[in-house]
C-alpha cells in the first residue's frame, strides 16, 4: 500500500444535521446549512461527526447525509470543499462497512472513533489492531478521532497516535481532548506532509496553529465559519495581536456553546440568526431555546460573523 495524502490544511466543520418534527431529515435545511458553511470559507465538512448525531442514525441515513452534502457542494460550485465522514462503529466489522459506505457516497476521508462499549478491553494493543485493520480495509484514507467524552473516557496517548501515524493509510487525527501538548508532540514527531494533526475545539484554535496544527475541526464554525477563516488569515499574515483578540472571543463563545449543549445550541442559533432549520434533535438529546441560554459572547460572535 503506497502512502496516502493527508487532507489539506484549513478549517473543517462537523456539521449538524437538521430534522423535521418527526425526526426525519429536513433536506432543505441540511442543504442550506452546507451551502452557508461553504460560502463561509471552510476547507472541508465533516459529515457524521459527533455533532452530526451519527450514533442516532441508521447506516442508510449516514450514507444519505454524505450524499446530500456532496451533491449540495457540487451543484453550487464548491467541488473543492473536502468531505470527511465519521465512520466510527462499535466493532471492527461495522467500522469497515461504514468506511465503504462513506467512500461510495462521495467522502474523501474517514474519521474513526475508538470503540468504547468495553473500555477495560481497549488496551493499547487492541486499539492499534483496530485502527490498522480498518485502515487496511478502507479504500479512502483514514484519520484517528480522539474524543474521550463520547468514548467512555478513553483518551489516546500521543504514543499510540504516533504509532498509528506510521500506517500508510492513516493520515491524520482530530484531538477533541483539546490537549495542545499532545498536539505539539505529534506535529514535532510526524511530518505534516504525511500526517495532519487538528485540534477539535475552537478554544485552542490559535494555540494549535502556533504548535504546528493543520488548522481546526471544530463545532463552532457551524455558527461562525467566516470568523474562523478570519483568524486563520490573521495568523498566516503574522498579525498576532488581532488574532489573539479574536481567539479570546472564539474561546468564550466555544465554552458558552458547550454549556448550552453544543448540538442543540448550534441548531437553535441557525433557526434564530440564519433563518433555516429546526431545533429538533433526536432523543435522548433535548431541545435548547437560544434566547433563554447565557449567550453574551455567542451573540457577539454572531454579530461579527454577519459583518464579515
Whether residue 226 is contained in a domain is answered as yes
Whether residue 251 is contained in a domain is answered as no
Whether residue 186 is contained in a domain is answered as yes
Instruction: Flag whether pLDDT at 295 surpasses 80.
Output: no
Whether residue 56 is contained in a domain is answered as yes
Number of structural domains (the chain) is: 1
Query: Confidence class of residue 292 from pLDDT cuts 50, 70 and 90?
Result: low
Whether residue 200 is contained in a domain is answered as yes
Q: Which residues are catalytic?
A: 145, 174
Q: What mean pLDDT do residues 90-115 have?
A: 98
Tens of pLDDT, residue by residue over 75-89, are 999 999 999 999 999
CATH of the domain at 126: 3.20.20.70
Average pLDDT, the chain: 96
Q: Is 217 annotated as a binding residue?
A: yes
* pLDDT value of residue 1: 74
Q: Can you give the pTM of this predicted structure?
A: 0.96
In which domain, by residue range, is 172 found? 10-238
Whether residue 168 is contained in a domain is answered as yes
Whether residue 307 is contained in a domain is answered as no
Q: What mean pLDDT do residues 240-259 have?
A: 96
CB 52 within 8 A of CB 14: yes
Whether residue 134 is contained in a domain is answered as yes
State what percent of residues in the chain have pLDDT above 70: 99
- Secondary structure, 3-state, the chain: CCCCCCCCCEEEEECCCCECCCCCECHHHHHHHHHHHHHCCCCEEEECCHHHCHHHCCHHHHHHHHHHHHHHHHHCCCCCCEEEEECCCCCHHHHHHHHHHHHHHCCCEEEEECCCCCHHHCCHHHHHHHHHHHHHHCCCCEEEEECHHHCCCCCCCHHHHHHHHCCCCEEEEEECCCCHHHHHHHHCCCCCCCCEEEECCHHHHHHHHHCCCCEEECCHHHCCHHHHHHHHHHHHCCCHHHHHHHHHHHHHHHHHHHHHCHHHHHHHHHHHHHCCCCCCCCCCCCCCCHHHCCCHHHHHHHHHHHHC
Amino acid at each position: 500500500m503506497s502512502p496516502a495524502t493527508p487532507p489539506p490544511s484549513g478549517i473543517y466543520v462537523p456539521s449538524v444535521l437538521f430534522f423535521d418534527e418527526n425526526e426525519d431529515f429536513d433536506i432543505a435545511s441540511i442543504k442550506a446549512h452546507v451551502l452557508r458553511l461553504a460560502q463561509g470559507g471552510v476547507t472541508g465538512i465533516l459529515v457524521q461527526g459527533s455533532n452530526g448525531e451519527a450514533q442516532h442514525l441508521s447506516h442508510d441515513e449516514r450514507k444519505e447525509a454524505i450524499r446530500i452534502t456532496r451533491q449540495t457542494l457540487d451543484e453550487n460550485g464548491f467541488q473543492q470543499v473536502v468531505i470527511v465522514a465519521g465512520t466510527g462503529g462499535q466493532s471492527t466489522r461495522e467500522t469497515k462497512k461504514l468506511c465503504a459506505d462513506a467512500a461510495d457516497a462521495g467522502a474523501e476521508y474517514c474519521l474513526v472513533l475508538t470503540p468504547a462499549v468495553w473500555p477495560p478491553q481497549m488496551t493499547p494493543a487492541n486499539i492499534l489492531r483496530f485502527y490498522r485493520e480498518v485502515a487496511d480495509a478502507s479504500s479512502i484514507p483514514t484519520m484517528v478521532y480522539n474524543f474521550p467524552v463520547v468514548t467512555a473516557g478513553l483518551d489516546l496517548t500521543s504514543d499510540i497516535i504516533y504509532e498509528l501515524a506510521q500506517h500508510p493509510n492513516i493520515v491524520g487525527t482530530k484531538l477533541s481532548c483539546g490537549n495542545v501538548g499532545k498536539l505539539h508532540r505529534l506535529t514535532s514527531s510526524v511530518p505534516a506532509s504525511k500526517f495532519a494533526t487538528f485540534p477539535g475545539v475552537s478554544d485552542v484554535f490559535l494555540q494549535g496553529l502556533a504548535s504546528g496544527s493543520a488548522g481546526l475541526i471544530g463545532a463552532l464554525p457551524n455558527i461562525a465559519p467566516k470568523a474562523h477563516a478570519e483568524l486563520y488569515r490573521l495568523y498566516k499574515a503574522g498579525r498576532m495581536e488581532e488574532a489573539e483578540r479574536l481567539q479570546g472571543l472564539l474561546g468564550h463563545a466555544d465554552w458558552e456553546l458547550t454549556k448550552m449543549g453544543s448540538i442543540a445550541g448550534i441548531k437553535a442559533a441557525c433557526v434564530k440568526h440564519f433563518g433555516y432549520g429546526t431545533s429538533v434533535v433526536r432523543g435522548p438529546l433535548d431541545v435548547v431555546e437560544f434566547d433563554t441560554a447565557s449567550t453574551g459572547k455567542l451573540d457577539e460572535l454572531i454579530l461579527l460573523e454577519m459583518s464579515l
